Amino acid sequence: MLTVDFSRFPLAPGDRVLDLGCGAGRHAFECYRRGARVVALDQNGEEIREVAKWFAAMKEAGEAPEGATATAMEGDALALPFPDESFDVVIISEVMEHIPDDKGVLAEMVRVLKPGGRIAITVPRYGPEKVCWSLSDAYHEVEGGHIRIYKADELLARIREAGLKPYGTHHAHALHSPYWWLKCAFGVDNDKALPVRAYHKLLVWDIMKKPLATRVAEQALNPLIGKSFVAYATKPHLPRLAEAEVAAK
């Protein structure tokens, strides 16, 4: 289940991609399938080991084009172990709401992104997320949980402050909002509640079968109750005079 829409966020074979806070690796796997040179980075060592296993399995199965590469590694989003201007593309999906120093993370992403490079940022959307917080303290008051809720204009302002130029936004996963509202209402750790189990079966069916009816419904509902807010931006090229000044230093 992808949150980034690659029809709005073009990826070329050979692009060097950083999936920052990759989690289980869903976006990293898609970039690998599209022929990118992917680095999946996360602070969770257990998840990184699983992502590495899946990369190896994908290579063995021939799922990635010739020339594509994939590396999974542990790392700190606030101190990325890469030189300046290392990546053509950076993706950070459902991560920034967890990190106290989100400005520091943005600064690191801008540092490692090449001029003209593209970045995709996804966070929980304000409205649906506010409902979850209202229904359940346990939803967010956990170690490593969500520490803030972004309004769209606030996130876009931070993106601009970091030196990036936003070029598009949208919402995603409307069908998942009611599921999390049910989880919060019945208990975030209570997977046995009948409404939660029934809705989960619906979501699994939708992900596996991709029926036209639910695809149309989600597209219609995304502007209203989409669970995620997605923003795309580019890193501008320096003016030639500024480039010369930087080179002279």
Which residues are paired to 38 by β-bridges? Answer: 17, 70
CA separation for the pair 123, 205 (Å, rounded) = 25
Residue with tokens 């409307």: 174
* Beta strands per DSSP E along the chain: 16-20, 37-42, 69-74, 87-93, 113-124, 165-172, 228-234
Q: What is the pTM of this model?
A: 0.92
pLDDT, one tens digit for every residue, the chain (249 residues): 899 999 999 999 999 999 999 999 999 999 999 999 999 999 999 999 999 999 999 999 999 999 999 999 999 999 999 999 999 999 999 999 999 999 999 999 999 999 999 999 999 999 999 999 999 999 988 888 899 999 999 999 999 999 999 999 999 999 999 999 999 999 999 999 999 999 999 999 999 999 999 999 999 999 999 999 999 999 998 765 454 455 555
- Cα angle for residues 208, 31, 67 (degrees, 5° grid): 125
Domains held by the chain: number: 1
Q: How many residues does the chain have?
A: 249
User: What is the domain range of residue 146?
Assistant: 76-133+141-172+228-235
CATH for 111: 3.40.50.150
Residue with tokens 């209202």: 134
- pLDDT value, residue 238: 73
Does 164 fall in a domain? yes
What DSSP element (H or E) covers 132? Answer: helix 126-135
Q: Of 111, 246, 113, 94, whose CA–CA distance to 172 is shortest?
A: 94
Amino acid identity at 28: A
Does 54 fall in a domain? no
21 within 8 A of 109, measured Cβ to Cβ: no
CA separation for the pair 218, 221 (Å, rounded) = 5
CA separation for the pair 172, 170 (Å, rounded) = 7
CA separation for the pair 54, 69 (Å, rounded) = 13
- pLDDT value, residue 109: 98
Does 216 fall in a domain? no
Does 147 fall in a domain? yes
Does 223 fall in a domain? no
- Cα angle for residues 63, 20, 37 (degrees, 5° grid): 35
